[in-house]
Amino acid sequence: MSEIQADLFTYQHTQKGPWHLLLYAVAAAFLTVSWSVRHVPAPSLTFSAMGALMFLFGTSFHHLTVADEGRRLVVRFGPLPLFQRRIWYDDIREVARGRTTFLDGWGIHLSLRG
């Protein structure tokens, strides 16, 4: 199959959400508190580390991309892809339309159904 024809069969979809803004706000709050207690080493370091961690998570949750990589499907949050999963098409046994609950849309976690 030519390279042009192969591109016709690829799939990629990106969804954007606002969660990174909340994480950036929490990071800014932690860093502000860290600055205000900068003369006390332990709390200052703790709040600085938490602020940096929240900023790192914020850069990881700008969008969700689902893409076809030939023999597998990749699901990744980005632009910093700390959280991703690759699913081999050979491992997929069944596909069915499903319904999600309100709690299913709150990020990376195990839901009540698995």
For position 101, what pLDDT does the model report?
72
**pTM of structure:** 0.66
Q: Phi then psi for 9, rounded to 5 degrees?
A: -100, 5
Calpha distance 98→87 (Å, rounded): 18
pLDDT 10s digits, 39-74: 998 999 999 999 999 999 899 888 889 999 989 999
